[in-house]
Structure 1
Amino acid sequence: MGGKYGKQHRERERRETRESLASFDEETAWSPNPGEPTVQEQETNYISETLLIAQRTVRYVRNDSIVEFAVVVQERVGQDQWREVLCIDTCNHGTVHRHRDGDHTQLEAIAPITDQGVVQDGYWEAVGEAYDLVYNEGATP
């Protein structure tokens, strides 16, 4: 019985997300205060010789909260060449969204950015998805 509730709960969450995205206006999305001091950090984790996860965050200096991010999975395709497999970010569209296979002309919206908490939560969910992809599914989404 618990599994059925879980599936119904996930389906309801997806429906609610689709509905909120349908009525979402990118112009009214939350965005960081341009006058607030921020710091940008980048970390690259080489999972193997052929896979890496790069994480970039922009945080407010005053409280260390994440206000923008990108989490990218790449796989090696040549000696010094890497191919982007997945990118989940908050850049430029007013949503937490994913791009697949290096195609930044197409995006799959995950959640509208209505406040800073959406960015913070979205970052940790993106990190989890990236690590799930490389460890549980292989590099190809």
Structure 2
Amino acid sequence: MVAQYTAGESVIYDSYIINDGYVWLSYISFSGTRQYLAWRVHGGEKFGTIPSDTSGDFTLTSETGTFYPNTTINVRDYPSTQGSILAQYTTGESVVYDSYVSNDGYVWLSYLASSGARRYLAWRVQDGEKFGTIV
């Protein structure tokens, strides 16, 4: 054990894994090492909450590219329209992403913000309208 979190404390995570029957949240500590903490039993009891009542049941697919939005796109803390809006990209701007995920009816592009936190923005409706181009 490296550290403990108690009720009322929080942690900003950038990814998760499912292993040994648990969903583990993962983050980079101040020392620069990757750390893990159990968030919930896979498909069962939760040990805490994640804002926007998110479930953590999605898989990121690695892919790198540059996205150019053709409209204003919200940047969220979770790949869902229920995720908190943290920033926006507009026409004429671009963002380099490192992965994508299908969730909540959309395909979300994902990148690590300068803070080290993972961010998400909707690229297109699943099997539908696109909100910009990828090169």
Q: Provide the TM-score with structure 2 as the length reference.
A: 0.24
- TM (norm. structure 1) is 0.24
More helix by share: 1
- Between Structure 1 and Structure 2, whose CA radius of gyration is higher? 1
Q: Which has the higher strand share?
A: 2
